[in-house]
Structure 1
Amino acid sequence: MKKKIVILLTATLLGSALTLTTSQPVQAISKKAAITLSWHNQSYRKVKLTKTTYVRKIHWRTPNYKSTVGPKIKLKKNKVVRIQQTGTDFGWYMHIPGRSGDYTIVKRYNDYSWFKLM
């Protein structure tokens, strides 16, 4: 009888100790990490522009390295767009609501100061 009580008490204490040690608070991630994660998933992220930004329309050719870009288009602050960070050709792909085609941003590849995640 004593063995059953000791085993039951030990199992209860171990279970509660594991519960206390495994619960962790939720941690927020940075803009860079969130966009990098979406880059690996090959999906677009919805963002809000925090600065006036210039973009150029991509005119796709085959093979892709022969693609060209059009003239600058100005996007105002607080515009909601969808972006994807890429590893080749153009630093960013962008979809703009109300406009057709793909756009690229006229900014450095590692600059994350022009948007805010939604």
Structure 2
Amino acid sequence: MSRRGQEAPSVSQYKILVVGDYAVGKTAVIRRYAHGQFTPQYKLTIGVDFAMRHVTRPKPDGTEENVQLQLWDIAGHERFGTMTHVYYKYAIAAIIVFDLSRSATYDAVLK
């Protein structure tokens, strides 16, 4: 409860994975959506990183719900493959990212 006797509005949290091969732009997509920034330089994600964004969504009763999206940037490089599956727990969705100019990155999605 807050100091004035009112409960603080609850915020639903949703864990969303962003997965795909290495160097396809997962981190760039997350940074753009969560922070409104774009960095063209490539930096390898080691293991996992995450960002958050608060949004509101309409509910069936006409009210709005506060939602916190946790965007988990899962490393795409093969050498991290064995350790990244542990981060999949409790995720409600996955965004799959691949590079249209490199068909091998699409093929890697199926693995």
Which structure carries more helix by proportion? Answer: 1
* TM-score, with length taken from structure 2: 0.23
**Structure of higher CA gyration radius:** 1
Q: TM-score, normalised by structure 1?
A: 0.22
